[in-house]
């Protein structure tokens, strides 16, 4: 064999003694020709073919007629369910052999389902036989499977709440820790001081362990959502409902004034500004303001209880670290904790028995009644509602006259054009007289 190396070529050319030409390729070119591992999801041809086969199988399977005991009208077609299950099972396959077998079986069953649409064909009988066998196997599996009944949920909470409300209904809100801080003999290891947390809505809480439980996160989110909803409602009443109520009162006053001018009296008996839309919106705003104040007072009381608990835990941790207390035996810690929980539950059961379970209407509470009465008196003084010697309010419409209240909520017709327009409205209200 003769080897020639051209002066301007890097690929050697060889001639053997028989006259055949051999070209030796570089090593990098030979490595690049190695077949890579097949990934079905990266092959556009395979993906298009698989999706087309999947859709054809679903469409054909749903058109196969079945008797009522195998396919009731309200359920999905059982053949489409089988097709979906098989495709989901074969989805992770990457072997050429398994992929080829799966695609071949798919085309085979596409032919079977196409012929099975004829109820007199042998393919249709084969489909029915397969579905009956499948249902029989499923029923036998359900009979052999052990029956599991979920145990009833205990009404007794697993853990007591961190804080308990100890104030009476008519007293300022006050919270105290339920069982914390625990004594050294109630836990194993060193005392871990809890960490306090706060939200933008001034809601204080305590982080005891990591990660934070999902139930606890949902509770914080629910309280935050309720507070924000109340704030948005209060802003809507202040910025939108109250101006609209003033416009509604002004409109009714203009209509009554024009009717009175034409000699007609409104059939609706009015008792002055206290029955106006604006006063109703004012009461709504006061109720929402009181509700937010109640939430704020409750959060403030909880924040004080959280701060007190953290201070007690820190003091006990420093004292135990300074004294060098020995670790508690796990059995002793469990017995001590069970004793504390039992005493707390007995105390709570006694409080539940002595607690007044009667319904209290929040709109009849002393605080709200006093505030509503104060608003009513201020509104009456502002818009001129007088009280006679017997303590009864004199009808504002009878005492003053609708046409004479230029500075009240009734207002006045400001121009001839407005008078003409409202006169037409009054005529329409009289029935076109």
**pLDDT digit string, tens, across residues 352-397:** 787 766 777 888 888 888 888 888 888 877 775 544 444 444 444 4
CA-based nearest residue to 106, from 60, 157, 173? 60
Alpha carbons 78 and 84: distance in angstroms, whole number: 10
Which position has the token pair 């709570």?
A: 348
Structure token pair of residue 104: 């071949």
Cα within 13 Å of Cα(270), Cβ side: 21
Q: Any idea where the domains of the chain sit in the sequence?
A: 2-32, 40-134, 163-354
pLDDT of residue 424: 53
pLDDT of residue 273: 67
CA-based nearest residue to 66, from 109, 111, 127? 127
Backbone angles phi, psi at 176, to 5 degrees: -135, 150
pLDDT of residue 73: 65
Could you report how far apart the first and last alpha carbons of the chain are, in Å?
A: 126
Upstream peptide bond of 211 is cis (omega within 30 degrees of 0): yes
pLDDT of residue 235: 93
Cα within 13 Å of Cα(155), Cβ side: 1
Which position has the token pair 């004294």?
A: 323
CB-based contacts of 188: which residues, under 8 Å, 6+ apart? 327, 328, 329, 330, 333
* Helix, strand, or coil (residue 23): strand
Burial class (CB in 10 A: 0-12, 13-18, 19+), 410: buried
179 CA to centre of own chain: 32
Those residues of the chain that have pLDDT short of 50 are 1-13, 15-32, 386-415, 417-419, 422, 425-426, 429, 431-433
Instruction: Give this prediction's pTM.
Output: 0.53
């Amino acid at each position: 064999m003769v080897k020639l190396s051209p002066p301007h070529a890097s690929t050697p050319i060889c001639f053997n003694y028989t006259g055949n030409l051999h070209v030796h390729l570089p090593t990098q070119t030979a490595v690049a020709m190695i077949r890579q591992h097949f990934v079905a999801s990266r092959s556009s041809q395979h993906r298009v073919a698989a999706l087309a086969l999947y859709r054809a199988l679903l469409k054909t399977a749903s058109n196969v007629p079945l008797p009522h005991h195998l396919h009731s009208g309200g359920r999905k077609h059982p053949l489409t369910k089988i097709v979906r299950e098989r495709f989901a099972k074969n989805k992770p396959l990457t072997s050429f052999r398994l992929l080829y077998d799966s695609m071949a079986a798919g085309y085979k069953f596409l032919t079977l389902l196409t012929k099975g649409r004829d109820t007199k064909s042998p393919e249709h009988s084969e489909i029915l036989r397969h579905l009956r066998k499948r249902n029989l196997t499923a029923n036998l599996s359900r009979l052999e499977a052990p029956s599991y009944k979920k145990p009833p949920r205990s009404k007794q909470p697993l853990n007591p709440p961190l804080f308990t409300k100890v104030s009476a209904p008519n007293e300022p809100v006050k919270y105290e820790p339920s069982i914390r801080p625990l004594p050294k003999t109630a836990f194993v290891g060193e005392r871990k001081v809890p960490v306090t947390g706060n939200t933008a809505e001034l809601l204080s809480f305590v982080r005891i362990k990591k990660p934070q439980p999902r139930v606890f996160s949902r509770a914080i989110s629910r309280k935050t959502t309720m507070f924000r909803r109340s704030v948005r409602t209060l802003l809507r009443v202040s910025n939108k409902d109250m101006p609209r109520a003033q416009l509604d009162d002004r409109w009714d006053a203009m209509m009554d004034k024009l009717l009175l001018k034409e000699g007609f009296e409104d059939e609706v008996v009015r008792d002055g500004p206290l029955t106006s839309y604006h006063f109703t919106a004012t009461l709504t705003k006061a109720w929402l303001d009181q509700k937010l104040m109640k939430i704020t007072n409750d959060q403030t009381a909880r924040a004080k209880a959280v701060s007190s608990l953290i201070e007690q835990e820190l003091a006990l941790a420093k004292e135990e670290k300074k004294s060098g207390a020995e670790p508690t035996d796990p059995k002793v810690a469990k017995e001590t904790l069970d004793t504390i929980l039992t005493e707390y539950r007995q105390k709570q059961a006694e409080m539940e028995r002595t607690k007044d379970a009667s319904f209290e209407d929040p709109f009849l509470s002393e605080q709200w009644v006093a505030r509503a009465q104060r608003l009513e008196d201020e509104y009456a003084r502002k818009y001129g509602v007088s009280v006679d010697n017997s303590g009864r309010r004199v009808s504002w419409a009878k005492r003053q006259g609708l046409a004479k209240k230029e500075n009240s909520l009734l207002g006045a017709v400001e121009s001839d054009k407005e008078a003409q327009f409202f006169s037409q409205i009054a005529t329409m209200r009289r029935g076109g007289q």
